[in-house]
């Protein structure tokens, strides 16, 4: 239906074609009711360009009538339009704002139309140029990217001065990198009233800690307040002093943030390495340098702590030995007492057994179960047998039993001897 259509109906005057002629005429009559709106097929960019051209022409007419600016069709007078509008605005204050808006719209439309009119090759060249500039900027910042633009690695920048972190754990060192931009770089906490470029947190970090300035690859550091703790190569930086940072300097903010400053441009200019030829700069060397510059001898402090720990261990060992010896003596005395009691008991039992067996009274000292004391009633029934004693014999046996029960001494031998005789 996107076309102009013409229909020719062929009919026959013969009566034999009457039905076919009538059907053709009916179809032709229905075809008259079909409305076709023909639209020219064109590219979307071409249509947009045409619309922009029409709008540009309208804006030129608007500027010509209201601001008195006659712009050339090729747009050469657009750069001078602002001056004319500012001059005419003093005369016509009511129309100046609309003229400025029209001029801005004209510039935007002209720029958009120029970009749409660019050929595919021109757009490709422009895109490649932008990608090359982006790749160069990434390389300068130390970011390596693939062809699709995704970052796959980070290395030390070649031109920009920067700070790399140092950590007590070697695996955590040089994982953070802070770039020192041209001009002023602020260091502080996230809750500072002014935006901080390098945000640090922790104890002894002020909201506005220090300011780092970079001017033609010459970097200086200056604390913001008297309480801001900043150390460069182990020396504290006062609030009224500005220190120049050289490549390889150790910078400490507060008491826990340790960094190494690197300036590739300065290192190349001075033809020196960024690190000393001796041991590499790490967290331990930076802290040791700080303590030495602050008058603290690490070896002496470590030896002092070691001696204190040895003395404490010696005292604790002596106390433990003393308690162990005391417990040993107590256990030995208890063992001696128990052995003495066992020996006395065994002697008494052996004496009683020998006396009773030698005197022949082992059978005569057997009591009836109902006449013996409670202690003897609890003994095994197989040990004793029933017998009949006289009253005198029973009294003597009962007296000897009480003596042995309450005394259990060797002096009982006399009692049993008397009883025997």
In this predicted model, what pLDDT tens digit does every residue of 156-176 receive, in sequence order? Answer: 667 788 888 888 888 888 888
**Residues spanned by the domain of 65:** 44-117
Query: Around Cβ 259, how many Cβ atoms within 10 Å?
Result: 21
Query: Around Cβ 71, how many Cβ atoms within 10 Å?
Result: 21
Structural domain includes residue 284: yes
- Our count of domains for the chain comes to 5
Pairing of strands 257-262, 162-166: antiparallel
- Main-chain phi, psi angles of 224, to 5 degrees: -90, -20
On whether both 164 and 289 belong to a single domain, the answer is yes
User: Helices in 67-119 by DSSP H: which ranges?
Assistant: 81-89, 93-117
With bands split at pLDDT 50, 70 and 90, how would you rate the model's confidence at 369? very low
Average confidence score pLDDT of the chain: 74
Would you say 260 and 168 are in contact if contact means Cβ atoms under 8 Å apart? no
On whether both 177 and 289 belong to a single domain, the answer is yes
Tell me: pLDDT of 18 over 60.
yes
Structural domain includes residue 303: no
Q: What percent of the chain has pLDDT over 70?
A: 67
Structure tokens at 377: 């009633």
Q: d(Cα 316, Cα 231) in Å, to the nearest integer?
A: 42
On whether both 257 and 362 belong to a single domain, the answer is no
Tell me: pLDDT of 76 over 50.
no
On whether both 209 and 232 belong to a single domain, the answer is yes
On whether both 131 and 244 belong to a single domain, the answer is no
pLDDT of residue 187: 92
Q: d(Cα 282, Cα 166) in Å, to the nearest integer?
A: 6
Structure tokens at 361: 């009274």
On whether both 178 and 284 belong to a single domain, the answer is yes
Q: d(Cα 252, Cα 295) in Å, to the nearest integer?
A: 17
Structural domain includes residue 244: yes
Q: d(Cα 393, Cα 419) in Å, to the nearest integer?
A: 9
Q: In what order do the strands lie in the sheet with 230-232?
A: 177-179, 162-166, 257-262, 250-253, 230-232, 235-236
On whether both 64 and 184 belong to a single domain, the answer is no
pLDDT in tens, 288-313: 777 777 665 556 677 888 888 999 99
On whether both 286 and 164 belong to a single domain, the answer is yes
Average pLDDT over residues 107-119: 72
Between 373 and 241, residue with greater pLDDT: 241
On whether both 11 and 58 belong to a single domain, the answer is no
Structural domain includes residue 319: no
Tell me which residue of 96, 101, 102, 75 sits closest to 84, measured CA to CA.
96
pLDDT in tens, 225-257: 888 899 998 888 888 889 999 888 899 998 889
Structural domain includes residue 304: no
Tell me: pLDDT of 5 over 70.
yes
On whether both 211 and 258 belong to a single domain, the answer is yes
Structure tokens at 128: 């490649």
Residue 238's alpha-carbon distances to 68, 221, 227, 229, 296, in angstroms, are: 64, 10, 9, 9, 20
On whether both 50 and 137 belong to a single domain, the answer is no
pLDDT of residue 133: 82
Question: How many alpha carbons lie under 13 Å from residue 71 in its C-beta half-sphere?
Answer: 30
Q: Which of 190-199, 257-266, 401-410 comes out lowest in average pLDDT? A: 401-410
Q: What is residue 163's three-state secondary structure?
A: strand
Structural domain includes residue 306: no
Structural domain includes residue 140: yes
Residue 282's alpha-carbon distances to 260, 273, 290, 300, in angstroms, are: 8, 16, 12, 22
Would you say 178 and 186 are in contact if contact means Cβ atoms under 8 Å apart? no
* Secondary structure of 75-86 in HEC code, one letter for each residue: CCCCCCHHHHHH
On whether both 253 and 265 belong to a single domain, the answer is yes
Tell me: pLDDT of 212 over 90.
yes
Structural domain includes residue 312: no
Q: d(Cα 284, Cα 173) in Å, to the nearest integer?
A: 11
pLDDT of residue 370: 45
Would you say 168 and 157 are in contact if contact means Cβ atoms under 8 Å apart? no
Q: What is residue 214's three-state secondary structure?
A: strand
């Amino acid at each position: 239906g996107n076309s102009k259509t013409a229909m020719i109906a062929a009919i026959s005057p013969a009566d034999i074609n009457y039905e076919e002629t009538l059907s053709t005429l009916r179809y032709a009559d229905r075809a008259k009711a079909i409305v076709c709106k023909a639209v020219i097929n064109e590219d979307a960019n071409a249509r947009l360009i045409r619309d922009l051209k029409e709008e540009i022409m309208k804006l030129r007419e608007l500027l010509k009538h209201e601001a008195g600016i006659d712009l050339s069709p090729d747009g050469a007078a657009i750069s001078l339009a602002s001056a004319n509008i500012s001059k005419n605005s003093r005369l016509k204050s009511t129309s100046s704002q609309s003229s400025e808006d029209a001029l801005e719209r004209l510039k935007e439309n002209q720029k958009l139309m120029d970009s749409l009119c660019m050929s595919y090759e021109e757009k490709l060249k422009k895109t490649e140029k932008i990608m090359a500039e982006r790749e160069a900027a990434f390389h300068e910042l130390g970011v390596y990217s693939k062809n699709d633009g995704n970052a796959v690695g980070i290395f030390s920048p070649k031109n920009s001065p920067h700070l790399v972190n140092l950590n007590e754990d070697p695996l955590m060192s040089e994982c953070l990198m802070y770039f020192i931009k041209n001009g002023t770089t602020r260091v502080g906490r996230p809750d500072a009233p002014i935006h901080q470029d390098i945000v640090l947190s922790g104890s002894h970090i002020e909201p506005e800690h220090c300011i780092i300035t970079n001017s033609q690859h010459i970097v200086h550091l200056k604390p913001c307040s008297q309480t801001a703790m900043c150390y460069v190569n182990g020396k504290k930086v006062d609030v009224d002093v500005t220190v120049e940072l050289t490549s390889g300097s150790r910078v400490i903010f507060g008491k826990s943030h340790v960094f190494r400053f690197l300036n590739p441009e300065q290192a190349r200019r001075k033809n020196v390495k960024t690190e000393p030829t001796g041991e590499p700069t790490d967290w331990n060397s930076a802290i040791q340098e700080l303590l030495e510059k602050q008058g603290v001898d690490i070896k002496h402090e470590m030896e002092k702590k070691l001696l204190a720990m040895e003395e404490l261990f010696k005292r604790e060992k002596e106390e433990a030995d003393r308690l162990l010896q005391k417990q040993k003596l107590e256990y030995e005395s208890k063992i001696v007492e128990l052995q003495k009691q066992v020996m006395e008991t065994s002697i008494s039992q052996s004496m009683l057994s020998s006396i009773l067996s030698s005197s022949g009274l082992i059978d005569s000292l057997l009591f009836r179960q109902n006449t013996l004391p409670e202690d003897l009633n609890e003994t095994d029934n197989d040990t004793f047998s029933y017998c009949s004693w006289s009253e005198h014999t029973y009294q003597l046996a009962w007296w000897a039993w009480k003596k042995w029960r309450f005394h259990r001494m060797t002096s009982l031998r006399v009692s049993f001897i008397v009883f025997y005789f």
